[in-house]
């Protein structure tokens, strides 16, 4: 597949701070002369680097949920659905930068999707038993039903 100056999208799980994953996202963003559009579950532009503050950023419906920026992890069962709702069909190249659900973005069949996969989401990959040990009731049920789905 040849991509010749096509429309590019960069997708990252969330843009709330500038830690390791966000720095990788910024480095990918900076590679392109014509800057890609950024997509994420939710964002706090005030916390971003100067380069990412200038980006066009589109967020998911998670952004509109009450207390989402502060307690976003409570909404993790909704992350796969939110990622699938991002409108990436206009893009010829989609680069996902994440360790969990963002690699599940939906693209056109003829689009190229490159996933920069960070280290696995430790709380779902190998720590779910620890979370189960301390959980009961509805919280335990949510963990059992969603952790496997989120980790892969």
- For residues 105 and 137, state if they share a domain: no
Using a cut of 0.85, tell me whether the model's pTM lies above it.
Answer: no
pLDDT 10s digit of each residue in the chain, 152 long? 455 568 999 999 999 999 889 999 999 999 999 999 999 999 999 999 999 999 999 999 999 999 998 888 888 889 999 999 999 999 999 999 987 788 889 999 999 999 998 876 655 556 666 666 676 677 666 666 666 555 55
- For residues 113 and 130, state if they share a domain: no
- For residues 97 and 83, state if they share a domain: yes
pLDDT at 63: 93
Domain of residue 140 covers 121-152
pLDDT at 99: 78
pLDDT at 37: 97
- Long-range contact list for 87-93, CB < 8 A, 24+ apart? 87/58, 88/9, 88/11, 88/39, 90/7, 91/6, 91/7, 91/8, 91/9, 91/37, 92/3, 92/6, 92/7, 92/8, 93/3, 93/6, 93/7, 93/8, 93/9, 93/36
- For residues 80 and 142, state if they share a domain: no
Within-domain flag for 55 = yes
- For residues 114 and 127, state if they share a domain: no
pLDDT at 150: 58
Yes or no: say if 86 and 10 are a contact pair by the CB < 8 Å rule. no
Within-domain flag for 38 = yes
């Amino acid at each position: 597949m040849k991509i010749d100056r096509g429309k590019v999208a960069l997708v990252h799980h969330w843009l709330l701070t500038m830690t390791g994953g966000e720095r990788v996202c910024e480095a990918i963003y900076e590679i392109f002369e014509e800057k890609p559009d950024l997509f994420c579950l939710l964002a706090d532009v005030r916390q971003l680097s100067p380069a990412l503050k200038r980006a066009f950023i589109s967020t998911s419906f998670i952004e509109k949920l009450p207390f989402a920026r502060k307690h976003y992890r409570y909404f993790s069962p909704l992350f796969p659905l939110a990622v699938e709702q991002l409108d990436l069909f206009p893009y010829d190249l989609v680069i996902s930068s994440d360790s969990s659900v963002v690699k599940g973005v939906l693209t056109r069949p003829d689009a190229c999707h490159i996933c920069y996969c960070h280290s696995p989401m430790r709380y779902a990959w190998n720590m779910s038993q620890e979370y189960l040990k301390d959980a009961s009731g509805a919280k335990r049920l949510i963990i059992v039903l969603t952790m496997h789905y989120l980790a892969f």
